[in-house]
Amino acid sequence: MAYQPRDRDLFFWEDRGWYTSFVGGSHEFIDAGSLNLNYRTMFHYMATGITPAMSAPSVGTGSVYAFTPHDSDGMYLDGGKTYSVTLPGPVPANDFWSFVVYDNQHRSMLETDQRLAGLDSTLKDVVANEDGSFTIWFGPEAPEGKEGNWIQTMPGKGFSTILRLYGPLEPWFDNTWRPSDLELVD
């Protein structure tokens, strides 16, 4: 359920691999008046806590969560390989955006030599591209010159990532803003 969902309602965009378990906008996993145990099981397999605000954000407040364990070809993310993802600019977050990587085996943050298991737009070393977009790199080694936009992964470990937007703005809700899938670089 969590790593290979079959229900296309979970996906944010038909042409992307980012998805959620918050279908129906309910922290109780009620969809059209029915309790959806599959979505609830999926969420609580991956996470331990939930609040009403997590499942029902509004423009400029709350947060949204887009999850993926796959690259653009639908293959599971491999900690021994390098991937990139691009967030078109401007990123529609009133407050900030972040990526966190998780170990697929125990679903906790991926333990690496890096200080953080991710990065966010509040960090001074995160650099925008010339056009205002951000390219973020995932891999065991930072691409040269991209250290501020790099999240370390571990060879021999599968990983997944969550993109979070805090204070999501209208382009998120009307689907005019779309992050790329993680693209295999090498």
- The string of pLDDT tens digits covering residues 2-61 is 899 888 889 999 999 999 988 777 888 888 888 988 888 888 888 878 888 888 889 999
Q: What is the DSSP letter of 127?
A: -
Spans of all domains in the chain = 15-56, 58-184
Q: 9 vs 160, which has greater pLDDT?
A: 160
CB 89, CB 129: distance < 8 Å: yes
CB 139, CB 83: distance < 8 Å: yes
**Tokens 């790099």, located at residue:** 150
Query: In this structure, how many other beta carbons lie within 10 angstroms of the beta carbon of residue 15?
Result: 8
pLDDT of residue 170: 98
Looking at the predicted structure, is the pLDDT value of residue 182 above 80?
yes
Choose among 154, 175, 178: nearest CA to 102.
154
- Complete edge-to-edge strand list for the sheet that includes strand 118-120: 63-68, 159-168, 93-103, 118-120
Burial of 174 (0-12, 13-18, 19+ CB in 10 A): exposed
Q: What is the DSSP letter of 141?
A: S
CATH domain 58-184 topology: Jelly Rolls (2.60.120)
pLDDT of residue 47: 83
**Residue range 145-155, pLDDT digits in tens:** 999 999 999 99
Choose among 18, 37, 20, 19: nearest CA to 28.
37
Tokens representing 175 are 């689907």
The mean pLDDT value for 94-99 works out to 98
Burial per residue of 67-94, b for 16 or more beta-carbon CB atoms within 10 angstroms, e otherwise: bbbbbbeeeebbbebbbbbbbbeebbbe
pLDDT of residue 44: 85
pTM: 0.93
Q: How far apart are CA 32 and CA 23, in angstroms?
A: 10
The mean pLDDT value for 168-185 works out to 97
**Residue range 106-147, pLDDT digits in tens:** 888 989 999 889 999 999 999 999 999 999 999 999 999 999
pLDDT of residue 53: 80
